[in-house]
Amino acid sequence: MDKTLIIRAASKFRGKVRVLNDIDLCVAPGERVALLGHNGAGKSTLMKMILGLTPLSGGEITIDAAAPGSGAARRDTAFLPESVNFHPTLTGREQLTLFARLIGGRADIEGLLDRVGLGEAMDNRISTYSKGMRQRLGLAQVLLGRPKLALLDEPTSGLDPLSRQDLYAIIDELAAQGTAVLIASHALTEVEAQTDRIAILRKGVKVADDTLPNLSRIAGLPTRLRILARDGQAGRIADETGGTRINGASVELYCDASEKMQELRRIAAMGDTVVDIEMTPPRLEDLYRYYAAKEFGEGQA
C-alpha cells in the first residue's frame, strides 16, 4: 500500500546537537497517528521538516512522492501550528478566504466556519477571538482544500472538553476522506488514544511505534482494582487478597492484565462483604511515562 507520508532515517542537527536521530515513520492514507514526546523531544522539528520549513541534515521525507516544501507537497499538506495565530485585524472569514485563494479552487468558507462552530463570529475580527476560537479557526483552515496529509501540533491546547469532542469528529472526518493525520502532543490523552497508532519520541529517538493495545501489553503495566468493603471488613479483605488498605473501607490491589479475570472471580466469591469494585486499566499517562522515560540507547552513544 502506498503511504502518504514516508520518513526514512531522518536526522537533524542544530549546531553540533543532534535533535533528531534516524527517525523512520510512515502514515498511510486515512490513518491517524499520534506523535508523542516531551517538550524538546523533537516533535515540532520533525513537523517543520515535513513542512519543508527547515532542511533535513540526513535521511529522506516524501509527501505523496513529493519533496517537503515543494509546490505539490504544500498543496497536499495542511498544518495546524501549536497555539495557532492569525492577523488580528482580519475577520475569521477574511483570513480563511485568503488561505482558500492561496490554495486555489472553490471553498465553502461559511460552511467550514459553521462546521467548527464559528458561524456567529465569522465576521468579527480575530483580535476579539478567545484562544479556543482561534484554535477552531485553525482547524477550519486544515479542512480547506481536502489535504492528503494533515499535521496537527498540540491540537487540544486551549480547547474545552466539549470542543475536544468536536476535534475527534473532525479528525475522524479527515481520516474518512483519506487524509493521513499526524498529531503531535506532549501527553497521551483521549485524543491521541483514539488514533490508530502511537509513535513516541524521546530525545530525538523513536522509542515506540505501535497500536495502543500492543504498547500496553509490551509495557505490562498493572490494572488497579479498588474494593469497597462492608463495614469493618476491609482488614479481612486486605488479608485475603494481599492488597493494601487505603482507608477505613477500601482495599487496593494491582494485577497484570492477564490475571484480571482470575482476580475478579476470586473477589466475587467473597460474597456480600464486597460492596463495590472499581477497575482502572493502566492510565494512558502511566503508559506514556513508561515509554518516554525508558532508558534507551543511553550509555552506548
Partner 1 sequence: MIARVFAIARAEMLILRRNWWLVMATGIMVLFALALTFAGSAPSGALGVDMLTVSVSSMTTLAVYLAPLLALMMSFDTIAGERDRGTLALLLTYPAGRGEILLGKLAAHVAALGIATTIGLGTAGVVAALSGGAGVESVTALARLIVTATVLGAVFLVLGYVLSALAKSPAAAAGLAAGLWLVFVVLFDLGLLGAVVMDDGGVFTRVVFPWVMVANPADAFRVWNIAASDGVAMVSGLGGAAQMLPYWAAPVSLLLWPVLGFGMARVAFARLEP
Binding site for partner 1 (CB under 8 A): 48, 51-54, 71, 74-75, 77-79, 81, 83-90, 94-95, 98-99, 101-104, 125, 141
Of 73 and 292, the one with the shorter C-beta distance to partner 1 is 73
The sign of the dihedral angle between the CA atoms of 39, 289, 287, 10 is: positive
CA 27 to CA 31: how far, in whole Å?
6
Of 53 and 169, the one with the shorter C-beta distance to partner 1 is 53
Of 25 and 100, the one with the shorter C-beta distance to partner 1 is 100
Minimum CB–partner distance for residue 76 and partner 1 (Å):
10
Q: What is the bridge-based pairing of β-strands 149-153 and 77-80?
A: parallel
Of 43 and 75, the one with the shorter C-beta distance to partner 1 is 75
Minimum CB–partner distance for residue 80 and partner 1 (Å):
8
- Other CB atoms within a 10 A radius of the CB of residue 93 amount to 18
Minimum CB–partner distance for residue 28 and partner 1 (Å):
21
To 5 degrees, how large is the angle CA 58–CA 76–CA 109? 140
Residues 6+ apart with CB under 8 A from 237: 227, 229, 243, 251, 270, 273, 274
Of 96 and 225, the one with the shorter C-beta distance to partner 1 is 96
Minimum CB–partner distance for residue 90 and partner 1 (Å):
7
Nearest CA among 159, 218, 217, 216 for reference residue 183? 159
Minimum CB–partner distance for residue 106 and partner 1 (Å):
13
Q: What is the bridge-based pairing of β-strands 149-153 and 180-185?
A: parallel
Report residue 136 CA to chain centroid gap: 17
Minimum CB–partner distance for residue 127 and partner 1 (Å):
10
Minimum CB–partner distance for residue 46 and partner 1 (Å):
14
Of 35 and 49, the one with the shorter C-beta distance to partner 1 is 49
Of 87 and 266, the one with the shorter C-beta distance to partner 1 is 87
Minimum CB–partner distance for residue 99 and partner 1 (Å):
6
Number of H helices, E strands in the chain: 11, 13
Of 137 and 215, the one with the shorter C-beta distance to partner 1 is 137
Alpha helix segments (H runs only) across the chain: 43-51, 71-76, 92-103, 109-115, 131-143, 161-176, 190-193, 212-219, 234-241, 260-268, 284-293
CA 188 to CA 35: how far, in whole Å?
9
Judged on CB neighbours under 10 Å (0-12, 13-18, 19+), 289 is middle
